[in-house]
A and B are shown apart, each in its own frame.
Chain A
């Protein structure tokens, strides 16, 4: 089959690889019909995620048709159309039972390595480095889905791939980021980053009752989408973000600040040059510019929610500010299984549209072009979806 494989920084090639097969009883094999490139994939593409191996198949946002199931899977059959959460979860452990699916105890074959880095291992992830299990991803013609009995959600008839593909990751991620803010009537929520995650975060915050959402980015087309989603916007290239947020919140600060950017934050302030130097010198691994701004901007007693991914160490975090202001921090990979059924229902019943996000539809064979375009935000690129078998 064909698959988008990683061969190093900025080097992704679609090559021929063997087809996947059933390994464990709870596996299923899917023929992929649609698969997206995520901001998280860009962290790999840009070389910031350790423990990638040459030839690893990328992709954690995918859906398709079941072609084979293991003998432990009785609720799926060949021909079923399904979407797959990007976190691999067993459904039975302490964490899965408490709806903390991305923290599953039983899905990372490399848990030993993850424990060395993080103390304890979170769930295995599709196509996301060997720290998270080294599972082959779904930017391919076929994929093996472990624990498919709890990790595959059927798509009802009459719904298109484009409508439900983002249930695999970014839609639940935006939703969880907003839910983590415990939004109360009258609240103002500030969202850094108007990429796919930021945009879904904006929609979710409004859905969950936020009075106002203020969105921050620098790309006009993304700011426009944020506005269309119902947010007020700030172009951080034009004004001082902290001053502007204070001014727009009656001098109080946003009730919640959401970092939908993560470890590769772009910036023009002094701390950013420091971060960049640290990263180049391999002294720090992440660039936490947005995280710092969130901490400073947030009102006292507010919440800082981090859907944006951090992978290693961050430097110069204003812990004193966070502590003296009594902030609450919420973060983590998304518990996709928890949110997927509800969000699916919103989509199927026409209450929620996600297709507005897709700017580029390409055959799988053009994955490399898709990555480059998404990274450089070329051609107003907001989200790339790849369709295997359409070249």
Chain B
């Protein structure tokens, strides 16, 4: 199940009862939004425009986190102690929300522990090159960008409830400001754990905004869903299924130039996207 809606932000955040100010999943923008745009940029636009897109992704996330362009208090206070009900509220009719959910057949505590070690994130978020944990709050993130470049920023955990949720955001001054939250809920009768990730961001105006809206309008959240699926694969099966590097005959119709042996063949069938015979939905395949 997924809920991709564009438009109204349904609820506001209240932290006044001592609950984390990210008490509802919908209320937090996610670093995974960075997946949506930066991965798209890497996969689709191997050019300068792609780089711009990657940065635009960061900008969107920044707006989402702050609620307004550098406006609301989530970034300003950067803590879960904030009690202002306006925290992280995106103005009406401006937010884009992506919410993805998956069932993972492992205990919530185990999933929480794995996710909480941010150095594990690149294992299921293919757009990340590495995450280095600096201390129990802060971490350093390196994401892949077009043209073999990377984008780096520091992030901090702004909220967590052991076994239940984690929320994080980039610290001020990051090249690509971003934030995210993940929620774990035990399911009844040995059915494992519901894992929910929510993204929310506020598109910028102008040409950039239009381009971004078009792009996100097509498949908002594909990357997020894939990242969640890979998380599930890793936690349940211990690995992400792949056919990368497997043999096949030549993808042209004539097999005459098929490779003879592994050592000599250039055509290893690796990472060469091939058109399929039926109209398949276009999917940006993450490169793990």
Task: Report the stretch among B132-140, B175-183, B251-259 that lies at the interface.
Answer: B251-259
> A337 to nearest B CB, angstroms?
14
Does more than half of chain B's interface fall in helix, strand or loop, or is it mixed? loop
A25 to B103 CA separation, bound complex (whole angstroms): 24
Chain A, interface residues (CB within 8 Å), range: 35 or more
Q: Of B105, B249, B267, which contacts A7 at CB under 8 A?
A: B249
Contacts of A85-143 to chain B: CB distance below 8 A: 88, 90-94, 97, 105-109, 111-113, 116, 124, 130, 133-136, 140
The answer to whether A53 touches B259, judged by C-beta atoms less than 8 angstroms apart, is no
The answer to whether B278 touches A18, judged by C-beta atoms less than 8 angstroms apart, is no
Q: Of A26, A50, A54, A111, which contacts B250 at CB under 8 A?
A: A54
Whether, in the assembled complex, B280 has its beta carbon less than 8 Å from a beta carbon of chain A, the answer is yes
Q: Which residue of B lies closest to A147 (CB)?
A: B237
Task: Report the stretch among B111-119, B155-163, B204-212, B239-247 that lies at the interface.
Answer: B239-247
Whether, in the assembled complex, A380 has its beta carbon less than 8 Å from a beta carbon of chain B, the answer is no
Task: Report the stretch among A8-16, A189-197, A239-247 that lies at the interface.
Answer: A8-16
The answer to whether A23 touches B246, judged by C-beta atoms less than 8 angstroms apart, is yes
Q: Of B105, B225, B247, B259, which contacts A92 at CB under 8 A?
A: B105
Does more than half of chain A's interface fall in helix, strand or loop, or is it mixed? loop
Residues of B within 8 A of A17 (CB): 247-249, 258-259
Q: Of A3, A54, A91, A111, which contacts B247 at CB under 8 A?
A: A3
Residues of B within 8 A of A7 (CB): 249, 253, 255
Q: How many residues of B contact A (CB 8 A)?
A: 45
Whether, in the assembled complex, A383 has its beta carbon less than 8 Å from a beta carbon of chain B, the answer is no
The answer to whether B237 touches A93, judged by C-beta atoms less than 8 angstroms apart, is yes
The answer to whether A105 touches B248, judged by C-beta atoms less than 8 angstroms apart, is no
Whether, in the assembled complex, B15 has its beta carbon less than 8 Å from a beta carbon of chain A, the answer is no
> B266 to nearest A CB, angstroms?
10
A19 to B105 CA separation, bound complex (whole angstroms): 35
0/1 interface trace, chain A 190-220, chain B, CB 8 Å (1 if under):
0000000000000000000000000000000
A55 to B269 CA separation, bound complex (whole angstroms): 10
Q: Which residue of B lies closest to A108 (CB)?
A: B241
Whether, in the assembled complex, B232 has its beta carbon less than 8 Å from a beta carbon of chain A, the answer is yes
The answer to whether A13 touches B237, judged by C-beta atoms less than 8 angstroms apart, is no
Residues of A within 8 A of B103 (CB): 94
> B280 to nearest A CB, angstroms?
6
> B84 to nearest A CB, angstroms?
39
The answer to whether A21 touches B253, judged by C-beta atoms less than 8 angstroms apart, is no
Contacts of A19-50 to chain B: CB distance below 8 A: 19-21, 23-26, 50
Q: Of A19, A26, A97, A130, which contacts B239 at CB under 8 A?
A: A26
The answer to whether A57 touches B238, judged by C-beta atoms less than 8 angstroms apart, is no
> B244 to nearest A CB, angstroms?
7
Whether, in the assembled complex, B265 has its beta carbon less than 8 Å from a beta carbon of chain A, the answer is yes
The answer to whether B265 touches A5, judged by C-beta atoms less than 8 angstroms apart, is no
> A218 to nearest B CB, angstroms?
31
The answer to whether A18 touches B239, judged by C-beta atoms less than 8 angstroms apart, is no
A55 to B222 CA separation, bound complex (whole angstroms): 28
Given A94-B191, A106-B232, 16 further pairs, Cβ under 8 A: A5-B255, A16-B259, A17-B249, A18-B247, A20-B247, A23-B245, A51-B277, A51-B278, A51-B280, A54-B253, A72-B239, A92-B105, A93-B237, A109-B240, A112-B281, A116-B280
